[in-house]
Homo-oligomer: A and B are copies of this chain.
Amino acid sequence: MTKLLAALEAGGTKFLCALGTDDGELRVQTRIPTTSPAETTEKAIRFFQEQQASFGEVAALGIAAFGPLDLNPQSPFYGHITSTPKPGWANADLLGSMARAMNVPVTIDTDVNAAALAEWRWGSAQGLDPVVYLTIGTGIGGGALVNGRPVHGLVHPEMGHILIPHDKGIDPFPGSCPFHGDCLEGLASGPAMERRWQKRAELLPQDHPAWRLETHYLALGLTTIILSLSPERIILGGGVMQQGHLFPLIRAEVRSLLNAYVQAEEILGGMDDYIVPPALGEKAGIMGALAMACSLV
Chain B CB within 8 A of A229 CB: yes
Q: Is A151 an interface residue (CB 8 A)?
A: yes
A228 touching B229 in the complex, CB below 8 Å, given contacts A146-B147, A163-B220: yes
When chains A and B are docked, how far (Å) is the Cα of A224 from the Cα of B161?
A: 8
- A70 (CB) vs chain B CBs: closest residue: B263
Q: Is the interface of A mostly helix, strand, loop or mixed?
A: loop
Bound Cα distance A135, B158 (Å) = 23
Determine whether the beta carbon of A164 is less than 8 Å from that of B165. yes
Partner of A263, one of B130, B155, B230: B155
A203 within 8 A of partner (CB): no
Q: A156 to chain B: closest CB distance in Å? A: 6
Chain B residues whose CB sits within 8 angstroms of the CB of A242 once the complex forms: none
Question: Does A153 contact B130, Cβ atoms closer than 8 Å?
Answer: yes
Asked if A164 and B163 make an inter-chain contact with CB atoms under 8 angstroms apart, the answer reads: yes
Closest approach, in angstroms, between the C-beta of A255 and any C-beta of chain B? 13
Cβ contact within 8 Å between B257 and A158 = no
Q: Which residue in B159, B161, B165, B229 is a CB contact (below 8 Å) of A163?
A: B165
Chain A residues numbered 154-175 whose CB sits less than 8 Å from any CB in chain B: 154-159, 161-166
Kindly identify which residue among B82, B153, B226 contacts A229, using a CB–CB cutoff of 8 Å: B153
